[in-house]
Amino acid sequence: MEINPLGLISAAIAFLSIWIGHVSVRKIEAITVALWKPMTILITFGLALEYAALSVSNQSLAAVFGILGVTLLWDAFEIKRQAHRVRKGHAPANPNNTRHAAMLAEPNSRATTLNILNRYPIGRAVDPEEAVRLITSH
């Protein structure tokens, strides 16, 4: 039986691009004040990769460009979603970023500099005070 490497190539590029995208989106959103700049760059590269996917005749290369392109387009959207998470306190705010500092200073702000997810699960529901205690008490 002949081996078809296309699925493996696609899986590898999908996994790596999700991983790198996931880490980069959090980092870029945390250090950037004007989010439209990285979003514009991501959308431009995403569309360019889709155009490249349409232009090449090699199936493996077309799949790599096609998958990488849509993940970059998705990452542009994720930058907005990440900013929303920071506002809700679901991701840590960076006080050195003036956009985040403004979120932290808002009246009744839910934003926090703490990363609530930075611990191991304990197997039961916790209230907001305990959620903070669990990540700060050790």
Residue 69 in contact with other proteins, rule: CB under 8 A: yes
Given the complex with other proteins, which of 34 and 121 has the nearer CB atom? 121
Angle between helices 36-55 and 59-88 (to 10 degrees): 160
Residues 74-103 that bind other proteins (CB under 8 A): 74, 90
**Dist CA 71 CA 18 (whole Å):** 7
Residue 137 in contact with other proteins, rule: CB under 8 A: no
Read off the tokens for 57: 């005749």
* CA distances, 120 to each of 49, 50, 75, 123, 124 (Å): 38, 39, 27, 9, 12
Which of 26, 32, 45, 61: binder of other proteins (CB under 8 A)?
Answer: 61
For other proteins, which stretch binds (CB under 8 A), given 18-26, 36-44, 95-103, 104-112?
Answer: 18-26
For other proteins, which stretch binds (CB under 8 A), given 29-37, 93-101, 104-112, 124-132?
Answer: 124-132
